[in-house]
Amino acid sequence: MAESARSGCPINAAVEAFGDSWSLLVLRDVMFGSRRYFRELLAGSEEGIASNILADRLKRLVNAGLLTREDAGPGRRAAYSLTEASIQLVPIFAQLGEWGLRHRPTTKRLRVRAELLAAGGPELWNEFMAELRTIHLGAPPPERDGPSVMERLAKAYTDAL
Of residues 48, 68, 45, the one with CA closest to residue 58: 68
Q: pTM of this prediction?
A: 0.88
Q: Helices (H) and strands (E) in the chain — how many of each?
A: 8, 2
73-78 contact pairs (CB < 8 A, 24+): 77/37, 77/38, 77/39, 78/37, 78/38
Integer Cα distance of 54 and 81 in angstroms: 15
pLDDT per position as a tens digit, 60-119: 999 999 999 998 777 788 999 999 999 999 999 999 999 899 998 888 888 999 999 999
Domains annotated for the chain, with CATH where assigned, are: 1-82 (1.10.10.10), 88-161 (no CATH)
How many CB atoms are closer than 10 A to CB 135? 18
